[in-house]
């Protein structure tokens, strides 16, 4: 944990940061320092600060890894017959980036690392001889290479610390210890995969170079990252923001308020970005052209860049938009969260609330009336891991399809995934669920809305199946299923995760009465209880009459009479059985009253069904199968694709 002085004390910095002048150069006041200290204390229970012992273990592991890299590069140099003088000075180094390099990693977080090698070391060497060297290490577990990825990587666990290692081969004969990766000249004559691998380090180093006070930046970023995760808006792959994007937004806030401490910066963060006029881009520095002919984000040149909804541009060349996955829905959700964050931090600064309120997680499963539940399943654990990764990477396509539907105003995917239910106990399968909240457009009076989401779902599933087949990942029984679920039905799929149903609770007058006042209070309590008793009986009778009328209107006269007599006799018998104890009597009547009210509502819904008809047609395992004869079978090759049909008829 950074020291108090480092965290709390802002310092005036005459240097100009960012592409505009600061909004305020105000120095921190005593109240700001107190609020920042309280913020630090509020963060501790969430495990955002790593203990010193764990931090030293990470440094030790990275030191070992750095030594392994140097040894490996010397071995490769010898096999390629380099002169002995060169071999001794050839170098090689491990750089870190991401949350660890920024100094905001949490307990148990992984480390993003980059292996930088001189020009005579090939990428094939990294994925062969270096991989073999790692296999020889006792501390290394779960070693796997992903050579065909967009950014090739070796993943491993080193002494129980998860590490992702990228590779970059520079056009240098030796790698000096003081190498600065921010030097744009290093990108000349490099393979595109090496440029992508270098990008993480270059962006991280630029961010740290472009903020006025690193400690204030770090504490603010820890706060914002925790807030974003608690509010389910932390996921680049699903169309929200990833770690580097949040870091750049916080860095921009620091530039605008260079002398502010963390408590002020958190408030200003919400102030600035709740009012930001998107799609105006967020820039930490003016883009520079290094004449290396690499593609950079520029809507004046690249037409596709004009459609980015929430551009946050990386500060290192080649500048890229880190938020190209953001959709209209995810942007709307994030802006709404920014506004709520501003409201809460206003209260905190006015001493009307504590910092803990900012980290209260909203209940996503109570927020919307309608949800689309997506289920990805595969026969084995290994197949499931690959399948889930592919499906998750494409969910934003489904969100985009739903957004384009004329009847949908918002599609909000929850970044959390959940274990899915099994189709049958006999069949071995592993499944994962995602939940998407959907808001349908408001209907005019007496207007019915017919919504067919079949094509939206089918287009998404076809895309996933095609990619799985093209990459030769697809296996039999890999499935994607979708269903429409109402809020009140979610507990059937997520029994332990949705807010539990409210249990009926009854409050009675205390039976513990002081002896000196016992008789007087007893008489008063009996009178109040008896009045409540008579009122409850009357309400029960009225409810029973309504039930009878409802059933008569359905032409079920005999059933109505029997239903009436049954509940009437039950209520009377229970009431008079407990008449000696007024509290028990009242309790019995209240229970009956609630039961009757529920029954009344059910009957009313039966009567009004023709005017309030909601039809949901889903896949066979859950509900009645829809006729999908008009939906083409895709892909063309015959594979067991699950047809998903969701057709809704919504009334006002």
CB 302 within 8 A of CB 295: yes
CA atoms of 460 and 474, how far apart (whole Å): 16
Element (H, E) at 548: helix 518-553
Alpha helices in 233-322 (DSSP H): 243-256, 262-274
CA atoms of 363 and 498, how far apart (whole Å): 8
DSSP label of 380: S
SS3 state of residue 309 = coil
Place of tokens 């065909």: 148
CA atoms of 325 and 225, how far apart (whole Å): 19
Active-site residue identified among 32, 77, 99, 229: 99
Q: Does residue 125 carry a catalytic annotation?
A: no
Active-site residue identified among 164, 336, 462, 525: 164
Residue 125, class by beta-carbon neighbours within 10 Å (0-12 exposed, 13-18 middle, 19+ buried)? buried
Active-site residue identified among 225, 229, 268, 479: 225
CA R_g for the chain? 32
Q: Does residue 234 carry a catalytic annotation?
A: yes
Q: Cβ atoms within 10 A of the Cβ of 15, count?
A: 6
Residue 234, class by beta-carbon neighbours within 10 Å (0-12 exposed, 13-18 middle, 19+ buried)? buried
Active-site residue identified among 64, 75, 110, 129: 110
Element (H, E) at 315: none
Q: Does residue 99 carry a catalytic annotation?
A: yes
Buried b (16+ CB within 10 A) or exposed e, 72-89: bbbebbeeeebeeeebee
Which token pair is 323?
A: 């938020």
Residue 22 makes CB contacts below 8 A (sequence gap 6+) with 255, 256, 257, 258
The angle that helices 328-349 and 262-274 make with each other, rounded to 10 degrees, is 140
Active-site residue identified among 100, 234, 257, 465: 234
Q: Does residue 462 carry a catalytic annotation?
A: no
Active site residues: 99, 110, 112, 164, 225, 234
């Amino acid at each position: 944990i950074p020291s108090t002085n480092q965290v709390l004390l802002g310092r005036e910095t005459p240097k100009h940061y960012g592409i505009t002048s600061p909004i305020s150069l105000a120095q921190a006041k005593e109240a700001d320092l107190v609020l920042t200290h309280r913020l630090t204390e509020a963060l501790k229970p969430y495990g955002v600060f790593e203990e010193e012992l764990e931090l030293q273990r990470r440094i030790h592991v990275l030191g070992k890894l750095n030594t392994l890299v140097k040894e490996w590069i010397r071995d490769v140099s010898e096999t390629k017959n380099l002169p002995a003088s060169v071999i001794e000075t050839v170098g090689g180094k491990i750089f870190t980036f991401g949350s660890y390099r920024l100094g905001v990693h949490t307990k148990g977080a992984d480390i993003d690392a980059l292996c930088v090698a001189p020009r005579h070391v090939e990428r094939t060497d990294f994925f062969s001889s270096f991989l073999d060297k790692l296999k020889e290490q006792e501390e290394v577990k779960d070693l796997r290479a992903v050579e065909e990825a967009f950014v090739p990587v070796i993943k491993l666990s080193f002494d129980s610390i998860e590490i992702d290692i990228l590779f970059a081969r520079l056009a240098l004969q030796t790698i000096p210890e003081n190498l600065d990766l921010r030097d744009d000249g290093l990108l000349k004559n490099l393979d595109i995969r090496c440029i992508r691998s270098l990008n993480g380090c270059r962006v991280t180093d630029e961010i740290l170079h472009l903020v006025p006070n690193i400690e204030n930046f770090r504490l603010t970023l820890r706060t914002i990252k925790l807030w974003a995760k608690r509010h389910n808006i932390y996921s680049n792959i699903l169309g929200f923001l990833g770690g580097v994007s949040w870091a750049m937004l916080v860095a921009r806030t620091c530039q605008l308020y260079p002398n502010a401490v963390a408590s002020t910066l958190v408030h200003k963060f919400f102030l600035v970005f709740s009012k930001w006029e998107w799609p105006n881009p967020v820039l930490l520095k003016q883009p520079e052209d290094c004449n290396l002919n690499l593609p950079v984000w520029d809507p004046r040149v690249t037409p596709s860049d004009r459609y980015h909804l929430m551009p946050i541009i990386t500060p290192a060349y080649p500048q890229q938009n880190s938020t190209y996955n953001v959709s209209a829905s995810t942007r709307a959700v994030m802006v709404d969260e920014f506004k709520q964050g501003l409201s809460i931090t206003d209260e905190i600064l006015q001493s009307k609330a504590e910092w803990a309120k900012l980290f209260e997680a909203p209940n996503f499963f109570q927020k919307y009336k309608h949800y689309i539940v997506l289920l990805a399943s595969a026969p084995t654990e290994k197949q499931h891991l690959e399948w889930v990764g592919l499906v998750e990477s494409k969910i934003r396509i489904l969100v985009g399809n739903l957004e384009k539907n004329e009847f949908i105003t918002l599609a909000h995917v929850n970044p959390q995934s959940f274990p899915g239910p099994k189709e049958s106990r006999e069949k071995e399968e592993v499944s994962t669920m995602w939940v998407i909240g959907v808001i349908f457009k408001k209907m005019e009076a007496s207007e019915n809305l017919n919504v067919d989401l079949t094509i939206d779902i089918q287009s998404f599933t076809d895309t996933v199946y095609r990619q799985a087949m093209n990459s030769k990942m697809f296996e039999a029984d890999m499935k994607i299923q979708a269903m429409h679920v109402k809020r009140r039905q979610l507990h059937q799929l997520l029994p332990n995760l949705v807010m539990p149903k409210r249990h009926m609770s009854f409050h009675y007058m205390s039976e513990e009465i002081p002896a000196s006042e016992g008789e007087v209070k007893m008489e008063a309590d009996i009178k109040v209880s008896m009045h409540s008793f008579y009122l409850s009986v009357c309400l029960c009778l009225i409810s029973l009459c309504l039930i009878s009328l409802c059933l008569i209107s359905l032409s079920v006269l005999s059933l109505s009479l029997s239903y009436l007599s049954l509940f009437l006799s039950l209520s009377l018998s229970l009431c008079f059985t407990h008449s000696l104890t007024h509290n028990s009597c009242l309790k019995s009547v209240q229970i009956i009253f609630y039961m009757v009210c529920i029954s009344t509502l059910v009957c009313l819904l039966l009567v009004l069904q023709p005017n309030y008809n909601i039809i949901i047609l889903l896949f066979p395992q859950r509900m009645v199968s829809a006729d999908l004869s008009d939906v083409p079978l895709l892909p063309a090759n015959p594979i067991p694709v699950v047809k998903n049909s969701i057709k809704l008829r919504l009334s006002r």
